[in-house]
Each structure stands twice: as structure tokens, then as C-alpha cells.
């Protein structure tokens, strides 16, 4: 097994072993960038490169990646947009093309007034623990965290933008998630800087789910069941796990 060495100003250290990817990352870039990973010629010549996570941690940005997002909102919005509804929580993580984790976070709860919480639909009030009659939030649930948060929507947008552009080149990230077009409707309005740094395409796991249900019912019966926790990072992890299942179950090697 070949190993890479990372060169520092004051020496070297062993890095994790490289392994085979179906899609080769740009080895020449990895060699030339300051602080990048050195890939032995014999290793690169056989299509062996560092993992996407290792590549990103070197300081280089991935040319493309899946940017997984899940949002919790006050409601489902109106026709064509969020309408009176808004974002309560957003979580994001990044994977490579083969669904290997590159980086996780942030998971951000946004501050809103009691009046905004009053405007939630009945399902959200129950799920997120808000009593609009007594103005009481159940401790530890999302409504309680919304009241305690100090983060504004503008700060949320900046956090998401800085996180993604730290690891992925501009326009190289494709938004991914379950029924993620709904999340994008809210992100378009409240997090435009974040959305504008992404590619215009999306990867919607619910599309794959519906096709699998119709065309591969036997495999679909084995798909992982959702826990329906309805917290942003939990839902992302479930979506990622679900797509990983479909990748192995219905897509040929």
C-alpha cells in the first residue's frame, strides 16, 4: 500500500493511505498547491489518489461535490415561494461523488420572535414544541432553541456560504437532499449568497425513491426506514443513507 507525505515548512509526516476512486481527482493540482498532498508517481499512474476528504483538508478545493441541505421551516410556504413562512433551522454537509463524507456542519438555528412562532402551522407547533396560547416552548425542542438563538438570517447565509466555499469551488457544489427543491425555495429568498455559489442543478433523493418504488419494488422494500425526527442534520444523514442504499441496490457497478 502506498502512502502520501504532506510537506510542511518544518518537516513531513505520514498521511492516510490513498485508495482507488472511480473518478480521478486532479493529481497535478494536488502536487502544485502549497501544502498539498504529494502523490507518488507509481500511485498516480495506477489511478490511485487521496480521498476527497483528504484532498479538501489539504487546503485545495474540490472541483465538484454534493452539498447536502435540510431546512426546518415555519410551514411549507405559498405557491411559488415561502410566502409568510421562514427558516428556523438549516444544516449542511458535503460529500464527494461517491457519497463519502468530506465535511459536516454547520447546523444553525435562527432566532425569531414569538410572533413568528405563533405563525407556524399546527403541525410545526406540535413538532417543534410551541404553545401559542401560553407562549411556552418545550425545553430542548426547536422552538425553545429558536428563542434562545442569536443568529440572524443574514448571518446564516454567510455561514453557509463560507462553509461551502472553504471546501468546494464556486459553482462546483450541487444541492442534494430529499425533496430539496422545497428547501431551495426558502434558500433562494433567505440565503441567496449561499445558493448563488452552487451549481444550478440539484440531486433530489425523492426522485430516485419514486423511480425505485415503481421499477424495483423488491429492492425498494429493503430501503432504510425514516425515523422522521424532523431536525435538520438528522434528516440529512437519513437522506444520505437512503441514497447510499439506492446506489448499491439499483445502480450497476
Active site residues: 230
Q: Specify whether the CB–CB gap between 69 and 175 falls below 8 A.
A: yes
Pairing of strands 65-73, 173-177: parallel
Q: How far is CA 94 from CA 130, 149, 246, in A?
A: 32, 24, 19
Q: How many whole angstroms separate alpha carbon 151 and alpha carbon 108?
A: 8
SS3 content of the chain, % helix, strand, coil (to 5): 40, 25, 35
Short-list 22, 24, 19, 103, CA closest to 63? 24
Q: How far is CA 130 from CA 9, 204, 228, in A?
A: 54, 30, 18
Cα torsion angle, 181, 79, 129, 87, sign: positive
* First CA to last CA distance, the chain: 24
DSSP structure class, residue 78: B
The owner of cell 502523490 is 39
Q: Specify whether the CB–CB gap between 44 and 37 falls below 8 A.
A: no
Amino acid at each position: 500500500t502506498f502512502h502520501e507525505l504532506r510537506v510542511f515548512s518544518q518537516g513531513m509526516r505520514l498521511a492516510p493511505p490513498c485508495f482507488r476512486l472511480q473518478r480521478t481527482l486532479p493529481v497535478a493540482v494536488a502536487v502544485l498547491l502549497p501544502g498539498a498532498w504529494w502523490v507518488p508517481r507509481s500511485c498516480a499512474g495506477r489511478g490511485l489518489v487521496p480521498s476527497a476528504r483528504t484532498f479538501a483538508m489539504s487546503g485545495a478545493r474540490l472541483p465538484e461535490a454534493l452539498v447536502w441541505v435540510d431546512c426546518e421551516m415555519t410551514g411549507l410556504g405559498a405557491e411559488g415561494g415561502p410566502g409568510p413562512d421562514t427558516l428556523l433551522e438549516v444544516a449542511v454537509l458535503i460529500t464527494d461523488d461517491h457519497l463519502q463524507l468530506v465535511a459536516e456542519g454547520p447546523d444553525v438555528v435562527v432566532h425569531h420572535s414569538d410572533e413568528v412562532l405563533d405563525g407556524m402551522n399546527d403541525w410545526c407547533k406540535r413538532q417543534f414544541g410551541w404553545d401559542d396560547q401560553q407562549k411556552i416552548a418545550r425545553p430542548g425542542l426547536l422552538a425553545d432553541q429558536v428563542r434562545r438563538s442569536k443568529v440572524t438570517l443574514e448571518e446564516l447565509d454567510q455561514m453557509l456560504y463560507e462553509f461551502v466555499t472553504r471546501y468546494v469551488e464556486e459553482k462546483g457544489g450541487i444541492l442534494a437532499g430529499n425533496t430539496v427543491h422545497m428547501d431551495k425555495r426558502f434558500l433562494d429568498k433567505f440565503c441567496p449568497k449561499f445558493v448563488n455559489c452552487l451549481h444550478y442543478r440539484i440531486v433530489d433523493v425523492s426522485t430516485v425513491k419514486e423511480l425505485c418504488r415503481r421499477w424495483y419494488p423488491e429492492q425498494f422494500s429493503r430501503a432504510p426506514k425514516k425515523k422522521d425526527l424532523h431536525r435538520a442534520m438528522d434528516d440529512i444523514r437519513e437522506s444520505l443513507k437512503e441514497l447510499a442504499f439506492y446506489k448499491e441496490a439499483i445502480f450497476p457497478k
